[in-house]
Amino acid sequence: MRHADVRAPTAPRGLILAVLAIMVVASTTTGTHASFDRATPAGICSAIDDLQFDGARANASVAWQVDLGPRTTGSNASAELRSTITADLESLGYDVSNQTHERFGMELTNLFARWPSNSTGNGQLVLSAHYDSRNVADQDENESNQSLPVPGANDAASGVAVLLELARHIPAMDLDYDVLLFFNDAEDQQPKYTLGAEAWAENLTEDEINATHAFVLLDMVGDADLQLHDVAPGNATLKSRVVELGTSLGLVNGTTACNEQAGEDIIQYDTTVHVLDDHVHAHNLGIPAIDLMDTSFGEAKPYTFGSYWHTMEDTPDKVSADSLGKVGRLVELGLRTNAFVGIDAHQEVQEHDSPSPDGDVEGVETEDHPRRNTGLTVMAMAGLVSIVGLLVVVELKGKR
Ligand code: 1BN
Ligand code: ZN
């Protein structure tokens, strides 16, 4: 008697192997990333209880930096600031280094402090601020002030102060990616903006680019009348996460915060301002980038970032512990919820630049670009097609 074939239907061997091959290739092209795993409102709200950022300490740092004198590129005050940052962060256990570059007859010095994660190979998040203050108060209404260097309380010291205060808390966060604090130089020196960040970007290897989750820039974040605008160009996912974090913290008008309070009108992402700031160089390499910036410092003044911007009025009394605390807590919450990592840059439509508010600015170009690991993906796809083709041939031969 012939027995019926009662074996469960099986997928062809080739198909199984092909699926396995796809899984292997997919894992090599995407890597392992921490994800925005506390993305539920409840998850973010519970992380708020852990926040440690102290706005008063950051505010004291602003006053101290301004007291050093103008931190123009190559100045003694600039060197003094660097050596204090180096000593402070080394004593916290950071790995501190610097890189110098010659640009327009200036020697600029970029300063880096790395907090390595416990697990290796999970990439880095870059948090950056410029530490140089502008060499000329060229927007000052008083002509005799226009050749003087600005105090740079908001436009320099505020971003550095937030990074330094975050630096005290990052070691205890137990993040599974490295954090690179990048204090960039020569952002604000004539004749050209963002020279330090540009030099850094020019010297990145393909591997370093691919290992960088995001570039988060803090610029002019201390204004006592804080308003953070949507800065273009920038990464849309990072922006939406900032709005999400800000909503939880009560920084978005018309929303309710975790503490049930109505949101303030701080994060105003319905207003877009085009600024070719330091983050543009990372953005142009395909690194997800965002500029957290208050583009209205003082009264509104056409074609500028407000009446105090690039004037002698950029002093510590225009900056507040409250504003620094709000921005610091926002970034800290982003770190604690993995909001700045695991961004899929493929899904982004890249934003284009448009003229900056300063008419005679020698800007930088943004580019339309696919994500930087396209080459790797193409190679992987070619490999995958070959493997599947081979398996189909083997399968067909087996059937003959
Ligand atoms: C931001 C604050 N910037 C300078 N001070 C950068 C900038 C770039 C400003 C281009 C205007 C145009
Ligand atoms: Zn400036």
Measure 268 CA to ligand 1 centroid, in angstroms: 19
Question: 3-state DSSP call for residue 2?
Answer: coil
Ligand 1 contacts (CB < 6 A) are 155, 188, 193, 219-220, 275-277, 356, 358, 361, 363
Q: What residue's CA is closest to ligand 1, atom 10?
A: 276
Question: Is the CB of residue 290 less than 8 Å from the CB of residue 216?
Answer: yes
Whole-number pLDDT of residue 304: 98
Measure 88 CA to ligand 2 centroid, in angstroms: 26
In a domain, 208, yes or no: yes
In a domain, 25, yes or no: no
Closest CA to 71 of 132, 130, 21: 132
Number of H helices, E strands in the chain: 11, 8
In a domain, 88, yes or no: yes
Whole-number pLDDT of residue 20: 46
Residue pLDDT tens, the chain, 400 long: 333 333 333 445 555 455 444 444 443 333 344 667 555 667 899 999 999 999 999 999 999 999 999 999 999 999 999 999 999 999 999 999 999 999 999 999 999 999 999 888 999 999 999 999 999 999 999 999 999 999 999 999 999 999 999 999 999 999 999 999 999 999 999 999 999 999 999 999 999 999 999 999 999 999 999 999 999 999 999 999 999 999 999 999 999 999 999 999 999 999 999 999 999 999 999 999 999 999 999 999 999 999 999 999 999 999 999 999 999 999 999 999 999 999 987 556 556 554 444 433 333 233 333 344 333 343 444 444 455 455 545 555 655 5
Whole-number pLDDT of residue 365: 32
Whole-number pLDDT of residue 31: 39
Measure 193 CA to ligand 1 centroid, in angstroms: 6
Give the whole-angstrom CA distance, residue 150 versus residue 317.
Answer: 14
Q: What residue's CA is closest to ligand 1, atom 12?
A: 356
Whole-number pLDDT of residue 97: 98
Whole-number pLDDT of residue 123: 97
Whole-number pLDDT of residue 279: 98
* 377 DSSP β-pair partners: none
Dihedral sign for Cα 260, 262, 268, 269, please: positive
In a domain, 67, yes or no: yes
Whole-number pLDDT of residue 36: 73
Query: What tokens appear for 282 in the block?
Result: 């990372």
Instruction: CATH number of the domain at 64, please.
Output: 3.40.630.10
* 290 DSSP β-pair partners: 216
Measure 242 CA to ligand 2 centroid, in angstroms: 23
In a domain, 394, yes or no: no
In a domain, 136, yes or no: yes
Q: Which domain holds residue 165?
A: 36-372
Report how many domains make up the chain: 1
Whole-number pLDDT of residue 93: 98
Rg (CA), the chain: 24
Q: What residue's CA is closest to ligand 1, atom 2?
A: 155
- Which atom, in ligand 1's list, is nearest to the CA of 363? 10
Closest CA to 217 of 245, 244, 196, 192: 196
Measure 154 CA to ligand 1 centroid, in angstroms: 13
Give the whole-angstrom CA distance, residue 24 versus residue 88.
Answer: 44
In a domain, 170, yes or no: yes
Pocket test for ligand 1, best of 277, 293, 296 (most atoms within 8 A of CB): 277
* 108 DSSP β-pair partners: 101
Whole-number pLDDT of residue 118: 87
Whole-number pLDDT of residue 90: 98
In a domain, 112, yes or no: yes
Query: What tokens appear for 240 in the block?
Result: 């939406």
Whole-number pLDDT of residue 348: 61
